[in-house]
Chain A
Amino acid sequence: MTVPRPYALLAEVTYRCPLHCPYCSNPVTLVSPSSSEAWAKEDIHSEEPAGSVALRTPHTPTGNGELTTEEWKRVIQEAAALGVLQIGFSGGEPLARPDLAELVRSARETKLYTNLVTSGIGLDDDRLRALRDAGLDSIQLSFQSDKPNLADEIAGARAHERKRSVAAKIRASGIPLSLNFVIHRRNIDRLAQMIELAEALDAERVELANVQFYGWAFRNRAALLPTREQVARARDVATAAKARLAGQIDIFYVLPDYYETRPKPCLNGWGQRYLTVNPIGDVLPCPTASSAIPDLRLENVRARDLDWIWRESESFNRFRGTEWMPEPCQSCPQREIDFGGCRCQAALLTGNAANTDPVCEFSPDRARVDAVLSEIHSCEHTDEWTYRTNPSAVAVSM
């Protein structure tokens, strides 16, 4: 099989975050940065048959298991050498890393297009200037709603007004601004007002992404999934806004896939275009794979170079191409269009990552999706959710 080159690296530089959004796609069992589990996990993943593993960069422990500045710089160089053109700094909240501007500068030096995905909390004048001077190309700022009290309730933190002032500062800095709203049952009816907020903040691009059910969002899906009626109304609002704002704001509306009959072409195919490096250096074909597909043997950048991991590793080759596909995917004319959908969703809903994404109407497991839909349309559905906790905290009960 010919291995394509990757286009984009998602650098999850930390799982620490000041917000607690219940729709977060980070793993529910976050690796505790201050505990020994972080190292235990890393040891398991980077273990080689021969035994001990030599670290590839002189390693001064960060004390929390996260990759060091020097390790990230090496990852960035290896990614650029592999053909990566874009890097997204994400997390957690990437601003929790004091070395973020240094990493951005390093990425620009290798000619990567640099994008920061942030809550905006912690983006003061000094840091914004440092990031701009480092060559940051673009910022994607998250909002939870247009309505301050609802936004803060969703975030589990007082953040909304600060985000508004951060947005204004970003616009003044000259760095292109995208807004990102995760859409779910509690905010989907305010789609029109959220688009108005994007207009008021002079954003160039707005992403209205219906929540995808991984990590914390999977745990909270009964409280997050919108109803069929809400989805239909929101679709009309998004379509009208797209037409009205054409040429002014680019609007991307991501459909909620549980309501679709065909799966999303997840990642444009496994191991085809994207790779993710998480805070402790595990390399993932998909950011949610570490929690959704527990038997995936992840490689770590401390033990292997990115080129080998991308081309040779079992994890990146496991669902590459079409040979792994079961029926009904194997004989399906859509198989190179949707690639069988999402491996993580298959794993989470059917227990086997190699199954057809159960969103697909031809999946023998479609009933599992329909059961969730009928549950939330019944009068017994819950509106309770569990807020995301930080790596240092113990997971809370439902």
Chain B
Amino acid sequence: MDATTIADLARPTLTQGVRLQIDSATGKNVLLYPEGIVELNDTAHEIVSRCDGRTLGEIVQALAEEYETDAAALAADVREILMALQHRKLVELT
């Protein structure tokens, strides 16, 4: 069952069998998975490309530094996007 939120210490990664790739026809970033394709917007891509074993807290921190924004304000958006991807089994938490 999906949790209602994602803890700071959770480590989101792409689910096995899901691939992040550039769609050469459009230049957009896409997630490829068994019989499906999801196009990522820029925000989702910035998050997903950092799902490399780091904790959620570290991802938020990295994004806050990169874009010089407040980490607390960013955290809610990052959680929301990751939860949507988790719900579609594209991201899993370890």
Which residues of A does B touch, CB under 8 Å? 5, 7, 83, 85-86, 88, 111, 113, 115, 137-138, 140, 174-176, 178, 204-205, 246-247, 250
Contacts and interface: CB of A to CB of B under 8 A. Distances in A.
Given A174-B16, A246-B2, A247-B1, A137 B34 contact: yes
A85 B16 CA distance: 18
Contacts, number: 49
Nearest to A81: B24
B35 A86 contact: yes
B17 A7 contact: no
A321 B13 CA distance: 39
A172 to B, nearest CB: 13
Q: Which 8 A-B pairs have the closest CB atoms?
A: A176-B17, A83-B25, A113-B32, A138-B34, A5-B25, A247-B2, A138-B17, A247-B1
Contact of A246 (B1, B17, B25, B37): B1
A234 to B, nearest CB: 22
A115 B21 contact: no
B23 interface: yes
A176 B16 contact: yes
Interface in B1-59: 1-2, 16-17, 19, 21, 23-25, 30, 32-35, 37
Contact of B24 (A83, A88, A138): A83
A111 B21 CA distance: 8
B23 A85 contact: yes
B35 A247 contact: no
A8 to B, nearest CB: 8
Interface of B: 1-2, 16-17, 19, 21, 23-25, 30, 32-35, 37, 87, 89
A174 B17 CA distance: 9
B58 to A, nearest CB: 24
Contacts of B25: 5, 83
A205 B35 CA distance: 11
By CB atoms of chain B within 10 A, which of A140, A176, A246 has the most? A176
B89 A250 contact: yes
Contacts of A83: 23-25
A86 B89 contact: no
A137 B17 contact: yes
Contacts of B23: 83, 85
Nearest to B86: A247
B32 A85 contact: yes
Contacts of B24: 83, 111
Given A85-B32, A138-B34, A246-B2, A204 B89 contact: yes
Given A86-B37, A138-B17, A204-B89, 12 more contacts: A7-B37, A83-B24, A111-B21, A111-B24, A113-B32, A113-B33, A137-B32, A137-B34, A138-B34, A175-B17, A178-B35, A250-B89
Nearest to B32: A113
Given A5-B25, A204-B89, A140 B34 contact: yes
Contact of B17 (A5, A85, A204, A247): A204
Contact of A137 (B19, B37, B87, B89): B19
